[in-house]
Amino acid sequence: MTTASPTPRATAGRRTGRFALGVAIIAVPLLLALLGPVFAGEPGPRAVSFTLGGGHWLGTDFVGRDVWRQVLHGGRPVVLTALGAGVLAYLVALPVGLAAALTHRRWLEELLMRPLDVLIAVPSLLLILLVASVFTPGAVGLALLVALVNVPDAARLVRAAATEAAARPVVEALRLQGESWWRTAFGCVGRGILRTLGADAGTRLTGVLYLVATAAFLGVGVEPDAADWAVMVDRNRTGLFVQPWAVVVPALLIVALTTGTNLLFDAALERTAPRTPGARRGRKERRP
Amino acid sequence: MKRYDDEDGRSAGEPLAEIVDLRVEVGGRVIVDGVGLRALPGRVTALVGASGSGKTTTGLALLGEFPAGARVTGRVRVAAGGPVGYVPQHPAAVLNPARRVSALLMDIARAQVRDLPRPARRAAARERVLRALADAQLPDGETLLRRYPHQLSGGQQQRVVLAQALLLGARVVVADEPTTGQDALTKSRVVDQLAAVAARGFAVVLLSHDLDVVRALADEIHVMRAGRIVESGRAQRVWLAPRHEWTRELLRSRPSLPDTTEPDRPEDATEKGRPEDAEEQGRPKEGAEPDRPEDATEQGRPKAAAVPVLRVRNLIARHRDGSRRGAAVAVRASELALYAGQCLAVVGRSGSGKTTLARCLAGLHRDHDGEVLLDSAPLPRSLRDRRRDQLAAVQYVFQDARAAFDEHRPVLSQVARTAVRLRGADPGAAEAEALTTLARLGLPAELVRRRPARLSGGELQRAALARALLAQPRVLLCDEITSGLDTVTRRGILDVLTALLDGDDGLSLVLITHDLDTAAVAHRVAVLDDGQIVEQGPTHRILTAPRHPFTASLTAAAAPRGRATGPG
């Protein structure tokens, strides 16, 4: 009587494979976004709109600019705004969520969380469009807006995950040790919910990217003729059937960015997943 | 509680389940080696051993369950191929909290009455459920069926799990540490139930490190150590004439209660010859000084100061439930005092408010009235308002040591933090001090540099003690720190505690426990029932001549087991 289970090597191989795939997919848009402007070179003379060939790799766009050069330039704003907004959202959400989870004062928890609940009720795109119609935000303004939209659910998630971690005796033990709030909150509770946060960050970054791209597509936070992947998709739509590359390439790059992010986080989480031998215990029905 | 004579009066019959020469190996480490056992109908087969000795692995092998990636050789045979029931240590974990007991049981029963005509199914299923409940010793099944798992006591949950197994037609039941963490009264009930289950012809395999329970129940005993069976045989034979060194050590490490049947013990004599203290009876009167210093001195412990280190006055602790006003009173303690160098045991059943009382003292439970005085200066209610020296003075050790450590950081650095935060030591010195303290408690340096997951429960509990001790506390509150540990480990922890008391730094202990054996270490005992201190006094008096009926029932539940087949 021998029980067989998948060998460790096979699982490790599968994990490495997924990791490599994630890296490969995300590397293309990231490298383009980071290094693109360096290799872009001087802008050439404008050509006819929506043409193919004629010295232009990917043809020309709606005002006759070289699409390849636009692609090289257009990644940086998307990636930077999305990353900035994502990081900013967590910078606010983490302390708020942890404070709400760790406090014993009910009023403080209400004070921290209720205003966010109001914010959560407003559809995010509506909020962005509303603010954009009153002010005209730049790239930084857009990042702030997207971050603001993401703070409520991130804070709620942090609070929910941290409440469970904060109820463990270890937090009381730390308080008995006279440990400082920051070390208890971030060193112990924050560390304990890292896996949940990682899973959330993977989907949230995708959502943020989507939001940034959508806002740019709608003309919020960017010039109408800016070199931006999302703007390119919007402006070059009219010539989709004449010169598809001006739409397809930036669109594919955005898709690669979101898919890659997700895959990468998935693989990273699986790699750190604790394998609990004790989890098998405690079932009641068995076959002999 | 012995049910069968050593000279086997009845035919044992065919074994219902059998393990032959089982060997389980995970990642090159042998967990169980050459283990064989037979579960006979109507018999209780006990596997005894310290935690980590391979009991559970062997028990689960009967169910066909093995650790992930295990290499298994040997043979496991279950008669008629029927399922084997398993009653886990924490039954709540296997019961769906969102469904009533009736639903949990009917789900299983319904599948078994498929072949009946539709109208008859419901009644037939119900009848099966009730029969299983009766078999599992839950006679008041009708009312129980309407409840949710969380509305049942731990013992009842255990029996519902058992009923599920019996419904499936299990003839063999594996009970995994069924009494761990239970108080003496509940324990004796569990023993009776398992005995009744066996009497109905089921084969019971008992995995336990609780020797009292094994003594009361087992017909056949296998003593395990490090994955091997070192001794097996008839219960009587193993108790009276243990052949293996390890069995002897196990038996020796079992602390014995002061025995009421032997009045000629010297301590008892002095105790009995003393006029009775009025204050010790029941709850102390208002304004009376209940804890006279003589009580302490008579324990052979000279007292310097008559002022108690820690004193509780008119404490009323509440548990806030959903409603704003209606908070349930959890503990009422009008007067309780702890002197320097003394050990006070707070004894009571689970749910009696012992832990709440200790948490009030530690500042972890803020919702209380009354005063907690440290050296006759009131302590702030909440931890947050306590000064560093007040924090350091009263330290608390948690029941679940594993949950009280951060799994991501090495044990040593967590222990050393106490000295850094509460005494302002610099990190290097704190670490050196932590290493010394840990070594004193029997934890070598290379062990404590690991993360908590690589330490055993007993080792972690020692580390938790060290963490509290680094604060150089005046009062150390120990909340059930030995429950859930096996006898040998428990003995070790208790030895550490007594050594701490004998040290000359005047440390006082409050020992929260449900276990009278553990309480016997203390100088004084306070008995808590339903949030009230019903009796307090010197340990020997309480354990040998309890005055309050509740104390009497506690000692009665614990004592007979010690005597039934006591050695010698």
Question: B483 φ, ψ to 5°?
Answer: -75, 145
**Residue B101: how many CA atoms within 13 Å on its side-chain side?**
30
**Residue B84 sits at the chain A interface (C-beta within 8 Å):** yes
Within a domain: residue A50?
A: yes
Residue with more model confidence, B289 or B114:
B114
Are B493 and B482 in contact by the 8 Å Cβ rule? The answer is: yes
In the predicted model, is pLDDT for residue B494 greater than 90? Answer: no
CA B60 to centroid of chain Cα atoms: 22
- Can you give the pTM of this predicted structure? 0.66
| Chain A residues close to B66, C-beta within 8 Å | 3
| Chain B residues close to A173, C-beta within 8 Å | 396, 398, 404-405, 464, 467
Q: What is the CA radius of gyration of chain A?
A: 24
Q: What is the mean pLDDT of residues B307-335?
A: 74
Chain B CA closest to residue A168: B403
CA B353 to centroid of chain Cα atoms: 16
Are A189 and A165 in contact by the 8 Å Cβ rule? The answer is: yes
ipTM: 0.71
Nearest Cβ partner for A286 among B84, B408, B417 = B84
What is the 8-class DSSP label of residue B341?
T
User: Is the CB of B83 less than 8 angstroms away from the CB of A170?
Assistant: no
Mind telling me how many Å the CA of B373 is from chain A's nearest CA?
18
Chain A CA closest to residue B387: A178
Domain count for chain A, please give it. Answer: 1
Mind telling me how many Å the CA of B323 is from chain A's nearest CA?
14
**Among A74, A35, A77, CA closest to A249:** A74
- In this prediction, residue A278 carries a pLDDT of 38
User: B54-58, B276-280, B461-465, B546-550: which has the minimum mean pLDDT?
Assistant: B276-280
Mind telling me how many Å the CA of A221 is from chain B's nearest CA?
42
Cα four-point dihedral sign B20, B21, B26, B32: positive
Q: How confident is the model at residue B292 (pLDDT cuts 50, 70, 90)?
A: very low
Q: What is the mean pLDDT of residues B235-251?
A: 81
- In this prediction, residue A273 carries a pLDDT of 55
Q: How confident is the model at residue B105 (pLDDT cuts 50, 70, 90)?
A: confident
A142 Rama sector, left if φ>0, alpha if ψ -120 to 50, beta otherwise: alpha
Mind telling me how many Å the CA of B251 is from chain A's nearest CA?
29
User: Is the CB of B422 less than 8 angstroms away from the CB of A280?
Assistant: no
- In this prediction, residue B1 carries a pLDDT of 41
Residue type for A195, please? R
| Chain A residues close to B69, C-beta within 8 Å | 5, 8
User: Is the CB of B403 less than 8 angstroms away from the CB of A176?
Assistant: no
The pLDDT > 90 percentage for chain B reads 4
User: Is the CB of A1 less than 8 angstroms away from the CB of B72?
Assistant: yes
- In this prediction, residue B386 carries a pLDDT of 86
Mutual angle of helices A139-166 and A106-121, in 10-degree steps:
140
Nearest Cβ partner for B406 among A188, A280, A281 = A188
Nearest Cβ partner for B93 among A168, A173, A282 = A282
Q: Rounded to an integer, what distance in angstroms lies between the CA atom of residue A281 and that of residue B67?
A: 9
- In this prediction, residue B24 carries a pLDDT of 85
Q: What is the mean pLDDT of residues B248-272?
A: 49
Give the largest Cα separation in chain A, rounded: 79
Q: Rounded to an integer, what distance in angstroms lies between the CA atom of residue A92 and that of residue A108?
A: 16
**Residue B566: how many CA atoms within 13 Å on its side-chain side?**
14
B296 Rama sector, left if φ>0, alpha if ψ -120 to 50, beta otherwise: alpha
In the predicted model, is pLDDT for residue B541 greater than 60? Answer: yes
Q: Rounded to an integer, what distance in angstroms lies between the CA atom of residue B263 and that of residue B259?
A: 8
CA distances A23 to A19, A258, A266, A269, A270, Å, are 6, 12, 12, 14, 15
User: A24-38, B253-267, B356-370, B536-550: which has the minimum mean pLDDT?
Assistant: B253-267
Q: Rounded to an integer, what distance in angstroms lies between the CA atom of residue B75 and that of residue B73?
A: 7
> A with B: how many residue pairs have Cβ under 8 Å apart?
117
Within a domain: residue A126?
A: yes
Nearest Cβ partner for A178 among B68, B85, B421 = B421
Low-confidence ranges of chain A (pLDDT < 70): 1-12, 271-288
**Chain A interface test: which of B25, B379, B421 (most A C-beta within 10 Å):** B421
Q: Rounded to an integer, what distance in angstroms lies between the CA atom of residue B319 and that of residue A106?
A: 15
| Chain B residues close to A176, C-beta within 8 Å | 362, 364, 383, 391, 395-396, 468
- In this prediction, residue B559 carries a pLDDT of 62
Q: How confident is the model at residue B291 (pLDDT cuts 50, 70, 90)?
A: very low
Q: What is the mean pLDDT of residues B280-296?
A: 41
Q: How confident is the model at residue B112 (pLDDT cuts 50, 70, 90)?
A: confident
User: Is the CB of B467 less than 8 angstroms away from the CB of A173?
Assistant: yes
Q: Delineate the domains of chain B, giving CATH numbers in brackets.
A: 14-82+202-251 (3.40.50.300), 338-363+386-558 (3.40.50.300)
**Residue A266 sits at the chain B interface (C-beta within 8 Å):** no
Beta-strand ranges (E) seen in B307-363 are 310-319, 328-338, 343-347
Are B41 and B202 in contact by the 8 Å Cβ rule? The answer is: yes
What is the 8-class DSSP label of residue B259?
P
**Chain B interface test: which of A5, A174, A176, A179 (most B C-beta within 10 Å):** A176
Within a domain: residue A1?
A: no
Q: What is the mean pLDDT of residues B536-564?
A: 77
pLDDT tens per residue, range A234-263: 888 888 888 888 888 888 988 888 888 888
Are B543 and B519 in contact by the 8 Å Cβ rule? The answer is: yes
What is the 8-class DSSP label of residue B512?
E
**Residue A179 sits at the chain B interface (C-beta within 8 Å):** yes
Residue with more model confidence, B542 or A273:
B542
**Among B514, B539, B536, CA closest to B312:** B536
Task: Give the domain CATH number at A100.
Answer: 1.10.3720.10
Range of the domain at A173: 39-272
Sequence-distant (≥ 6) Cβ neighbours of residue B391 within 8 angstroms: A176, A178, B363, B383, B422, B471
Within a domain: residue A2?
A: no
**Chain A interface test: which of B406, B469, B481 (most A C-beta within 10 Å):** B406
Q: Rounded to an integer, what distance in angstroms lies between the CA atom of residue B176 and that of residue B187?
A: 14
Q: Are strands B228-234 and B343-347 parallel, antiparallel or unpaired?
A: unpaired
- In this prediction, residue B321 carries a pLDDT of 52
Within a domain: residue A82?
A: yes
Nearest Cβ partner for B88 among A170, A281, A288 = A281
- State the residue for tokens 């079932």: A283
Residue with more model confidence, B229 or A45:
B229
Average pLDDT taken over every residue of chain B: 78
Nearest Cβ partner for B90 among A5, A275, A282 = A282
**Residue A285 sits at the chain B interface (C-beta within 8 Å):** yes
| Chain A residues close to B366, C-beta within 8 Å | 104
pLDDT tens per residue, range B139-191: 777 778 888 887 777 777 888 888 888 888 888 888 888 877 677 777 787 88
- In this prediction, residue B12 carries a pLDDT of 54
Neighbours of B255 (CB within 10 A): 16
User: Is the CB of A287 less than 8 angstroms away from the CB of B404?
Assistant: no
Neighbours of A104 (CB within 10 A): 12
Are A229 and A253 in contact by the 8 Å Cβ rule? The answer is: yes
User: Is the CB of A3 less than 8 angstroms away from the CB of B398?
Assistant: no
Nearest Cβ partner for B81 among A174, A275, A288 = A288
Are B539 and B523 in contact by the 8 Å Cβ rule? The answer is: yes
| Chain B residues close to A284, C-beta within 8 Å | 85-86, 88, 94, 161, 164-165
Q: Rounded to an integer, what distance in angstroms lies between the CA atom of residue B232 and that of residue B247?
A: 10
Within a domain: residue A288?
A: no
Per the structure block, which two tokens stand in for B49?
């051993």
- In this prediction, residue A92 carries a pLDDT of 92
Q: How confident is the model at residue B80 (pLDDT cuts 50, 70, 90)?
A: low
User: Is the CB of A282 less than 8 angstroms away from the CB of B364?
Assistant: no
